Every structure is written in structure tokens, then in C-alpha cells.
Structure 1
């Protein structure tokens, strides 16, 4: 009986933990009022979005899709920033299509990943939609998602609201099956590398950066997720900057977080990103690069109406060196390479792409 109770407690605790993590991939806005049944509505500035990316290694195609909401309480659109949006981008052909809806045309569930904006659907298992812009460019998509790894990037800070932005790689490693049609080119695919994450908060950070890959040469079960920036902390502190690093390697996950007192340094010389993260036992060195022509400017509207420019590439080159501490110092475990890395740097400031690639920034 005692063994049964122990097993039951362990399974129950795991189920509770998994359920709590899954909450981060469903709607966050107004959740406390919803769970308490108060009937009240949060009306502070707010945004959240669901981001998906997919690469087709055989053809070097890369696409992204975003389903988002800004100020969901502002049904009448009293602010121009208030909106629901669906956005899709084709990195190979360098075009982006964005469609704006009213907040009234947005729905998201609290108990599961389920987002509807107009006729577009996004869940953790399937996304689909269809758009055309004024220039006649068209894109449509319908594919399923098989989750392989989710990662709590912020650790114990995730549910606290200490920062004005949260980041959650809900499917840091995943495989997708289905089709995408872009300007008449229909691509069918099965179990190709894909990715999905979340952002939400009350305002956008001063800057944001991101490096991800789940397609490494000769290492099919490896995945890397790096993200962070310079948020506002505790409501009015603007000087703290941070990035977190998650690395799935041979069935085990390794984390480096500043809130766990791990040492992390990051430099950006467009378009080269370099990260070194160390804990007591493990170290990772990351170098990511993409030429100027691989980047596109993804624009995100903040709750205050300021446009956040997110310079992103999805076909970057990535080198990862993974070390373990030994009595003789750091010993290299393995060097890994990817030609399908997602790389980005975002900021409220507007930069010309050429000037970005001629600059060097020691960010953190």
C-alpha cells in the first residue's frame, strides 16, 4: 500500500507539473479573473502571440506564422494599437503578408492551446490559414505538429510577472507534416523540423535576441533554444539584461539561466551571434551566422503603438561546442553544426539593415 501511495503521489505531481507548464501555451490575459469567476476584465496594456516556424531542408524553404493579440479588452479599438493579427512570411521568396482584425474577431482558450482569428486556426497540434495581399501574393498552410520537447526558459521566474515580457518555447523541438502553398508553389512535407513559442506581457523590451535550431548534422535528437533581451523588471528597472540557454542533447536537457546565477555572455556583430554560458559542471559555446540577404524585418505592434522591428533569419549557420568539467578543466564533449538556425535581433529602434551589419554590440 505504501509503495502504491508513493507511485501515485509521484505520478500526480508529474501530472500537475505538466498541466502547469501547458498553461503557458494557452491564453494568459485575464486568466486570474477567469479562474476565479469574478466577471472582471483586465484592462492594462497587453499583448501575446503564438509564433511558429518551419524549415524544409530538401528545398531550403523556410516559413513563419504568427497569431497575435494586442489589448484584447479593447473591443471598440479605442487605440490604433489594439488588434488581432495573423502574419505569414516566406523567407526564400522574401515576402510577408499581414492581416489585421479587430479584437472582437479573436478567441483563445484558457485550458488548451486553441486560437482563432477570423478563419485562421492555431493549436499545439495543427495550424491552418489562407491570406492574400494587395500585390496579389498568396500563402496558405495546413499542417500538424508533433511535439518533442518543451522548455521552461525562464524557470522559476515564469509565473511571477517580474518582467514586462515572458518567453516560452512550448515546442522547442517538433516535427510537422502537411502542406504550404506560397505564390502557387505547393510544398508537401512529412516530419520536417519545426518550432513554436510564446511571448506575452505588458510592453515590449528595449531589445530582444533569439537563436534556435532543432536540425543538427548527424545528431537528430539535438535542439538548442536561446532567448532574452533587456526587459523592464519590477515595474521600473530598465538596466537588467539577460538571455537563457536550453540545450537538449542525447535525451538530457541542460539549462543556463541568469536567475540561477549561471554565467552567460552574449555578443552580436551583425549577422554573427556569439554566446558562452557556464554552470559549475557544463559549458556551451554558440556561434551563429547568417548573411544580410537571409534576414527579413518582422514588425510587431506593441500595446503603446510603437512598432518593434525584429530582424530574423531562419537559415543561419550554427556551431555549438558542448563541454563538461573534469579534474583537468573543461573537456569538449562534442562539436555540433546546423545550417538551419533561426537567428534574430529585435528593437524598438529603427535601423537600416546595412548599418546593423556594420556594427558590433556587446549586449550581455
Structure 2
């Protein structure tokens, strides 16, 4: 599913699960929805072209599986589908009932993972998250990156160089019972800044807990506010306003996200399958202030604003504001 320009929405499912592929040890996955064995345009000559063509023809052979393709081969042979790695995102999906479509291809240069630059990637949910004790699991793979390429949205082509990019993964049986999320790495006057914040009511073994975190990458340094090192509080309206505060022994942060837009319903995994259960906008307003505690005083490290913040609420119930206790 894609949340497009002006919070427009596009979704496509591929029932042939056997045409999905993924690497077990690195970020690489894809799905061949529809294949065109003839290829787009004129067929090139050569051994490589011929071998790949025969590989597609032999899909009935058990040991021949969908896999990563060079971008040119994907563009030529895949009529519906996608493939993604840590440095490439490419695909084409369309809605047969409306004829709306999206095609895209861009390369990504990662800038920040999750943690200080040039250091080992940290676990977003803590070191115990490698065990299957949390439901769901959550890992921010790339807090900030630079994407260059193009996106064709229903005939309008967007070309871009070094556009902000972000990547995370979720796994488990379902999303949290209730959650909120804010993300932004596009600030008007502060280019080297990336924020991800969120909270939810998640399962831990046989009980439920409500937790939240704020993570900031700024000028090569990682500022982490998580339940095991900070006090994190929040006040999230059913829609329209996200307020969070956090502090530890060295730093404190405040952020406020707002929107007057209605948002767009999105699907998310639940125990009953993929259903509409969250609401998003990628055009939220965000104000953030980070301060350092020094000699019983506070020194402002950064104060920034953005009009391109991703804001989300999900699950429920959302009859009233959700405040931390």
C-alpha cells in the first residue's frame, strides 16, 4: 500500500504467496505479481538476456524461485510487483478497478541507522528484542537516508535527488492493540535532523504494557529516550494533536505534532488479517525542542519546525485523549 501525494491512497494484493521472496540475513525482499515473458520494448540480444528469459520460462521447475533482479530486468519483465533492499526500492502496482497506478525506482544512500554514526546498530526495542517476547517486534532500520530516482504517480512523474528517506520493519502476529507514531527527517532550517517517536499498548509474554520512546539523530549524535533510561510521557488526541515529553539525567525533549487534515485510513496487520485500523498524514506540522541539562540549567541544543511530518494513530479505542500515567 502507498500513501501518495496529498495523502492519496493505493493498495494492491498479490495472492500468489509463492512468488514472494526475501533474504534471511540482509534487507532484501520482493514479490512478482505479474510477469511479462516477452518483456517491455525490444528484446536485447546476448547470453545474459537469453539465460534470464529461459529462467522465467522455467518457473514450473521447483528449484527456480523469484529473486532479486537487476533494475533493468525488473523494469522489462515485471508488470506488477516490487523489490526492495537497503539501497534500492523499485516496483509497479495498479488498482484494476480504478486504473490508478504507481511506478517507482530510486536508490538510497543510508545516513543514520539507529544509534550513533559509525557504531553498531542498536535495537529499537532494547537488547531483549531479539527474543520473541514482544508483540509486535519493531526495528528502525534507517532513521535517515537520501533517495534519488523517480516516482510515477498516475501519470505524473516526480524526479528527485537526495530526498529524505526512512525505513523500519515490524514483525509478529499483529500490530499493538493501540498505538501512535510520529516521524520526520525533513526540517526547513535543520537539514541534519531525524526524529522518530511512538508508543503503544503491546504484549510482553503474558501481560500488556503501554510504552513510548523518542529517538533523535542530530549532527552525528543519537539522543535516545526509552523506558529503560528515561521518563517518557504523552498526550495524544484521537486525531489532530500529538504531544510528547521525555527526560533523562542529561537531556530533555518536547515535541508537538498537529494537523488540520482529515488523514487517510491505512491497512495494518491484525489478528484478523490486514484491515483498515489506522489513520495517517504525511503533511503534519511538527515543533521539537531538545535541551541539555548543565549545572542545574538547561541549554537548548536544537529547536526545529517541519511541515512534512508523518503522524499516525492506530488500533483503539480512541474515544478520548490517551495520556500516560
TM-score (norm 1): 0.69
Q: CA deviation at 1:94?
A: 1.8
Q: How does 1:268-347 map to 2 (within 5 A)?
A: 268-269=236-237, 270-293=239-262, 295-305=263-273, 307=275, 309-347=277-315
Deviation by residue 1:324-351 (Cα, 9 ceiling, x = unmatched):
11223333333111111111111155x7
Aligned equivalents of 2:202 and 2:7: distance in 1? 33
CA distance in 2, matches of 1:167, 1:243: 12
Aligned residue runs from structure 1 range 37-56, under 5 A = none
Report what 1:88 is aligned to: 2
Superposition map of 1:20-35 within 5 A: none
SS at match of 1:143: strand
In 1: Cα distance, 2:280 partner to 2:111 partner: 24
2:90 equivalent to 1:128: yes
Q: Does 1:176 align with 2:147?
A: yes
Q: Is the 8 A contact 1:282 1:324 kept in 2?
A: yes
TM-score (norm 2): 0.77
Q: Which residue of 1 aligns with 2:167?
A: 196
Partner residue of 2:105 out of 138, 142, 151: 142
Q: How many residues in Structure 1 have an aligned counterpart in Structure 2?
A: 267
Q: Is 1:232 the equivalent of 2:203?
A: yes
Note the aligned Cα RMSD (angstroms): 1.9
What stretches of structure 2 of length at least 5 have no aligned partner?
A: 33-80, 115-122
Match of 2:214 among 239, 245, 254: 245
Compare CA radii of gyration and give the structure with the larger one: 2
Partner of 1:232, secondary structure, is: strand
The answer to whether the 8 A contact 2:174-2:269 is kept is no
Give me the whole-angstrom Cα distance separating, in 1, the residues matched to 2:14 and 2:235.
35
The question of whether the paired residues in 2 share the 8 Å contact of 1:306 and 1:348 is answered with no
The residue matched to 2:245 in structure 1 has which SS?
strand
Is the contact made by 2:175 and 2:268 (CA closer than 8 Å) also made in structure 1? no
- For residues 130 and 145 of structure 2, the distance between their equivalents in structure 1, rounded to whole angstroms, comes to 24
Residue of structure 1 in register with 2:51 after alignment: none
Q: CA deviation at 1:261?
A: 3.9
* Equivalent position SS for 1:186: strand
Q: Mark the CA change 1:262 to 1:93 in structure 2 (over 3 Å): closer, same or farther.
A: closer
Could you say which structure has the higher helix fraction? 1
Residues 173 and 269 of structure 2 are in contact (CA less than 8 Å); yes or no, is this contact kept in structure 1? no
Task: Please state if 1:113 is matched with 2:27.
Answer: yes
Q: Deviations over 1:229-276 (max 9, x none)?
A: 111111x212x1111211112221110110x24100011122110110
Q: Note if contact 2:178-2:316 (Cα within 8 Å) is conserved in structure 1.
A: yes
Query: What residue is the counterpart of 1:263 in the other structure?
Result: 231
Offset of residue 216 of structure 1: 1.5
CA contact (8 A) 2:215 2:224 kept: yes
154, 171, 186: which one aligns with 2:125: 154
